[in-house]
Structure 1
Amino acid sequence: MSAHTTASPTPQQIHWEENGVQCAARWRSEAGMPPPKRVVIADDRTNADVAYRLACEGTALLWRGDFQNARQLLQALARRADHKGKPSKKAKPAKTPATPTEAFHLHRQAQSQRARTLAMLLIPFDAGYAIPLRRAPDVQLACNEAYGRFEEPFVASLRELLGVIGAHEWRRTGVEIPALDARIHPHYGVFSPVRGEYVELVANTPLPAGVKLAYDIGAGTGVLSAVLAKRGVARVIATDQDQRALSCARENLARLDLDGQVELLEADLFPEGRAPLVVCNPPWVPARPSSPIEYAVYDPDSRMLRGFLAGLSAHLTPGGEGWLILSDLAEHLGLRPREQLMEWIAAAGLKVIDRHDVRPTHPRAADATDPLHAARAAEVTSLWRLAAA
């Protein structure tokens, strides 16, 4: 599930002073954060409280000590950030409870602030992704997978590096998909199919009679294309704008021996032509993402959802079906009322012929400490069967 790509930004430089010498290096940030304007050197002697205060003020800490100690410092910064986000026992309760929409925006604001603070702990990289620190791991393979080949020294946040390492582990071990009786291996920057309910909907909804061709709009890891192919759809054309997603899907489909059935195209939404079945699982929250991978969840102004609905009838064969897989979390957060979705469906010349619902099984739906728990607990994911009106 991905339909976004970002252009390669112009290389940025980060500047700092070290041992009385002015230094500079290339700056890397997948989230598109600008290089910090203020940078100080930090090492094993750096106090966590001091580091947290500097990070909150926007001063970055370029690490020169032991790598494992840097990880421990990052954990200490995270504990302080999380503690700061909890309301004090002495704090007066709000006079009026926040609406779900206000709660969502406050939560996103807190998440963004936390991410900015934790991103202030920086790690130097030598050419070839070598880290010139004591007890630093070999991250060459993980970085090559995430970034591609790169020989120039650079500086990046430790938090981003840990995300790259984590993504490498996801890619290596994969995610078990019961509908395929196999694993899907997500790549860095491609949304992992850990929310299995939407996959099960596509696996269990009856296919239109005699369907031989299907379009999968926003292929992501290729999981839905694989499910359709496994169900006997002879030919699937899957589209995505993101090169990482296309590479990921290509690798997964080849691993499942389904690459002969599925054709991958770089496209914004639809390929040319018409099909008797068009499937789309767009991002489900109409809000601005704060990093590229969040485009799988956040769809600014419901761009992909509206684009899919508006173009669907022109890409369906007579009697064909469009399957829209969509969570109603946005409705519970007050971000997009159900009436608006129905208006968009009608305006696109479509009608609803059926709907299949499933409740989420992911852990956050049962986490009462989550600021958005009420909305998540009420969430339902639906497969809308749409046809030309």
Structure 2
Amino acid sequence: MIAIEKQYVQWSENNDLHHARWLSASAHLPPARLVLVDDKTTADEAYRLACAGTSMLYRGDFHNARQLLQAITRRIERTEQRSEKRRLSKAASQSIEKSKDIPNLFHQQRQTTAQRSRLLSRLLLELDADYISQLRRAPEFNKACIAAFGALDKEDKTCVLSFRDLQGALGAAGWRDKGVPIKALDLSIFPHYGVFAPTRHEYVQLLLAAPSPDDCATAYDIGTGTGLLAIVLAQRGIKQIIATDLNPRALTCAEDNFERSKLDSVQLQQADLFPTDAPLANLIVCNPPWLPAKPTSPLEYSVYDEQSKMLRGLLQGATQHLAEQGEIWLILSDLAEHLQLRSRDELLSWFIDADLSIKYRLDTEPKHGRSQDKTDPLYAARSNEITSLWCLVRKP
């Protein structure tokens, strides 16, 4: 695991210079400008400071801080709505075809999301070494913070993080406690902080419907995440499963889910794609990130795969790890095609370049809420999305 250099933030308060460990789930740099705010700070003042690039360290009441963040969010949303109206007006006046505008809409939406994240991340909290806040009416959240950020070193007496990152840690703790129900398996998966939660799991039915390869003794689950695909394979009776992931959080999460499911047939290995010192696989399963775009934070690596690096690496290396009659089950949405980020011909050419051919394909339609939301600027793409299980084999 790569060691991450610790960072610190400084500020002046009551004529004293304060120094605290800086924590950021989105890998934001420590704030260059920081002011103290409290219960008297208005939402308009806070919004102006955030837009000017100034971070705000909150003093006062915890619930007032939460309400201030909500008020800043409403102001950001109003600004976004005005920008969207101007964009639609400009598009109408220029008669821009919707099909040509979709890639721009996608990139604009990502920029808007990133800008919103930056603004909301400028409201900060200070916590002591045990992740306890001195704000009035602050609840206990040290357990959630330790799970998300790890215990602080002894020399770090306090830390500073964004209120939004704290909310993320609390939300992740909730998922970890209650789990994500997977109806097709009659069980729940328990995501950890920093591991993508399988809230979209229509592809599980595809995995259950696909016919098993002959003599399937060994299977790989590449990029296991929460371990969901490995659990599906185990339920299908495969005796030896090797699950890999590069993210240490994912390996810990998968191990937790395997223990909850009482599985002892799955081996975990930290690896970039394929396991080492392993028998050839009769089946390789992978659900790679679906969109070929650059992640802007560590939490986005499960969604975005810059230049399809993981997908192409999987395809190029698969035959070296595949038994003679083995199969690859690739779980992939075609949303990237509808967003015009990748063409179907390009995907098929990668199969050919990797000496792979298509044995069959199973499809399913999305069931998530955004595919039904007609107010979403990307509705045309999302409503036509298909998720597929591509069964690939060596070229004859």
- Cα distance in 2 for residues equivalent to 1:17 and 1:39: 9
Aligned partner of 1:14 in structure 2 is: 9
- Cα distance in 1 for residues equivalent to 2:379 and 2:151: 42
Aligned length: 383
Cα deviations by residue, 1:153-177 (Å, 9 ceiling, x for unpaired): 1100000000000000000000111
Deviation at 1:8? 3.5
Aligned partner of 1:93 in structure 2 is: 90
> 1:324-363 alignment to 2 at 5 Å?
324-363=330-369
> 1:263-278 alignment to 2 at 5 Å?
263-272=267-276, 273-278=279-284
Unaligned residue ranges in structure 1 (runs of 5+) = none
Which of 52, 55, 62 is the matching residue for 1:57? 52
8 A Cα contact 1:274 1:315, kept in partner: yes
- Whose relative contact order is higher, 1 or 2, with alpha carbons under 8 Å and at least 6 apart? 1
Aligned partner of 1:42 in structure 2 is: 37
Going from structure 1 to structure 2, the CA distance change for 1:134 and 1:307 (only over 3 Å counts) comes to same
Question: Normalising by the residue count of structure 1, what TM-score does the alignment of the two structures yield?
Answer: 0.96
Aligned partner of 1:250 in structure 2 is: 255
Aligned partner of 2:218 in structure 1 is: 213
- Cα distance in 1 for residues equivalent to 2:298 and 2:351: 28
Cα deviations by residue, 1:51-90 (Å, 9 ceiling, x for unpaired): 0010011101100010011111111111111111113698
Aligned partner of 1:261 in structure 2 is: 265
Aligned partner of 1:128 in structure 2 is: 130
Which of 151, 162, 166 is the matching residue for 2:167? 162
Cα deviations by residue, 1:342-380 (Å, 9 ceiling, x for unpaired): 111000000011000111111111111222211111111
8 A Cα contact 2:215 2:282, kept in partner: no
Aligned partner of 1:139 in structure 2 is: 141
Question: Normalising by the residue count of structure 2, what TM-score does the alignment of the two structures yield?
Answer: 0.94
Q: Which amino acid aligns with 1:85?
A: E
- Cα distance in 1 for residues equivalent to 2:84 and 2:205: 43
Aligned partner of 1:115 in structure 2 is: 117
- Cα distance in 1 for residues equivalent to 2:123 and 2:209: 46
Secondary structure of the 1:33 match is coil
1:380 to 2:386 alignment? yes
- Cα distance in 2 for residues equivalent to 1:224 and 1:282: 12
1:184 to 2:174 alignment? no
Deviation at 1:293? 1.7
- Cα distance in 1 for residues equivalent to 2:65 and 2:211: 52
Cα deviations by residue, 1:133-164 (Å, 9 ceiling, x for unpaired): 11111111101111222253110000000000
Cα deviations by residue, 1:94-133 (Å, 9 ceiling, x for unpaired): 2143621111110000000000000000000111111111
Deviation at 1:25? 1.3
Cα deviations by residue, 1:38-58 (Å, 9 ceiling, x for unpaired): 111011000000100100111
Deviation at 1:21? 2.5
Aligned partner of 2:325 in structure 1 is: 319
